[in-house]
A and B are shown apart, each in its own frame.
Chain A
Amino acid sequence: MASIARCLRVARPAAFSAVSRSSASRTPAARCFSVTAANAIKRYTKEHEWIDVTADKKTGVVGITEYAARQLGDIVYVELPEEGKAVAAGDAIGAVESVKSAADINAPISCKITQVNLLLEDKPDTINKVAEDDSHGGGWIAKVQLTEDGVNEFDALMDEAAYAEFTSEEGDH
């Protein structure tokens, strides 16, 4: 549904409703009140997004991984998320386009988009250079506010070692 919605987005902007409806069922209902260690605060998804959260797990920064950037090749366009939008884990929030392909960027966890990296509008290839840099001038994509579900989902993502193993298994074909 998501892409037919995108295909027809100019003519039919309402089509996006179908996206949020289908993803709602994916969000775990459980709540988490436990407090875990505040170190090792960067996590990775199987779809090659990273998220770096503050020690209090209230806010975070999202981007695509250096591995993904290498796989995509020269990035020529970034479709940024919409500021202020609340999204569920797995929702398409934007896209990165290289010469041959366009790949969706998915929300790694449930969160609210608070800021997007406007630098990427003019310099999309920043992602090829510093994909995992969350500072000014870096290739980060959005700053987010975590929801309660989001904190839960964050804990379930891969840490750096697990992601390194995951990408080494993925290999090159």
Chain B
Amino acid sequence: MALLRHLHLPSAHPHYIPYALANRVQEHLRRGHLDFKDAVSSTSPIRQAREPPPPTLVTFTPSPIYTLGRRQTGPLPAATIARLTAPLRIPSPSQTGRNDHETAATLTPQVLPSPRGGLTTYHGPGQVVLWPVLDLKSPLHKNFTVKCYARLLENTTIAVLASVFGIRAGTTEDPGVWAAASSGREEDARKIAALGVHLRRHVAALGTALNLAMPGPEVTDEGLNPWARIVACGLEGKGVTSVAGEVGGGGARGRVMQMLEAKMVSGKDGPVLGMEEATARLWAGEFSQRIGLGEGVEVVERGEAVRLMERLVREGDEEGGEAAPEQEEREYLARLGTGR
């Protein structure tokens, strides 16, 4: 029986993976699905030769980036670009005592168009991005229509928030997942996970991003709070929150970590994972069950993930032109190489 593969692309403060490199990995996986579908639908002899590619969940925490939706075709005004790409202070993720040599860093956000639905959103440290790459019509697992797939992503996140962190969340008429307000009023709900999917011949890419520890609306300084620079997804007057924000109080980050550790089968999951990777692992298990593949997930080792990224960047180099890797991608990989 097929298993969901989970490929987590590592980030270590303040060296977060460039979004372009994560996208390179995603496109590689998606091409595998599309090429397979081509081979099956044509009459070529390789028809029976291969198994369908397994569904794969790519997760990561990117360097700060604002992505634009498909609708935003015109160039952004220079003033908007300047505002988005102004230096952003990223606090050290470990205020819990672990790795206290780490300090805050100042990073420059990028701005990139993306093929997903929706409007401008932000991805960066304190968040885990979850991109399942799968054929919605694959014989390996349950099949989904577009609408049901979007709901599947939302429901997976809602289940993880409830079972791991005890956070009550749901959907509203706006996309994404929203943490319920204590007032119980839907208009007071705050966005905790964004959603954006792109489909090409039923092969899904992009997915959802869950806020784990990010500044809340009380932080109005744009130098500290990336959300203060945009109206997230075009939703005027809606607040953004995170898991730590909902858990609340001082030391929220440490308590989030404890909740994650309590849920990871102790000892069996090997080394202690960071907040983002641990959350991604639990999300993978929930997602796997919901597509009918059981709780077991095939975890792709860090070394294999790094080798895959190195290979894709090398191939991008050889192909050149538009496939050529960005300088940031090389720097990130070089650091991983030495830090391994």
Which residues in A have some Cβ–Cβ distance to B below 8 Å?
1-10, 12, 14-15, 18, 25-26, 47, 71-73, 76-77, 79, 90, 92, 95, 97-104, 106, 170-173
Contact = CB atoms under 8 A, between A and B. Distances in A.
Contacts of A5: 322
A73 B147 contact: yes
A101 B322 contact: no
B71 interface: yes
Interface of B: 20, 23-24, 27, 30-31, 38, 42, 69-71, 75, 112-118, 137, 142-150, 174-175, 195-202, 205, 321-323
B71 A77 contact: yes
Nearest to B19: A7
Among the interface residues A4, A73, A172, which one has the most CB atoms of the partner chain B within 10 A? A4
Nearest to A12: B322
A71 B147 contact: yes
26 contacts: A3-B27, A7-B115, A8-B322, A26-B38, A26-B42, A76-B117, A90-B38, A95-B70, A97-B70, A98-B117, A99-B174, A100-B117, A100-B175, A100-B196, A101-B150, A102-B115, A102-B116, A102-B199, A103-B146, A103-B198, A104-B199, A104-B201, A106-B201, A170-B143, A170-B145, A173-B144
Contact of B197 (A10, A14, A100, A106): A100
B23 A4 contact: yes
A73 to B, nearest CB: 6
A160 to B, nearest CB: 20
B148 A172 contact: yes
A114 B113 CA distance: 28
Given A5-B322, A26-B42, A100-B175, A71 B146 contact: yes
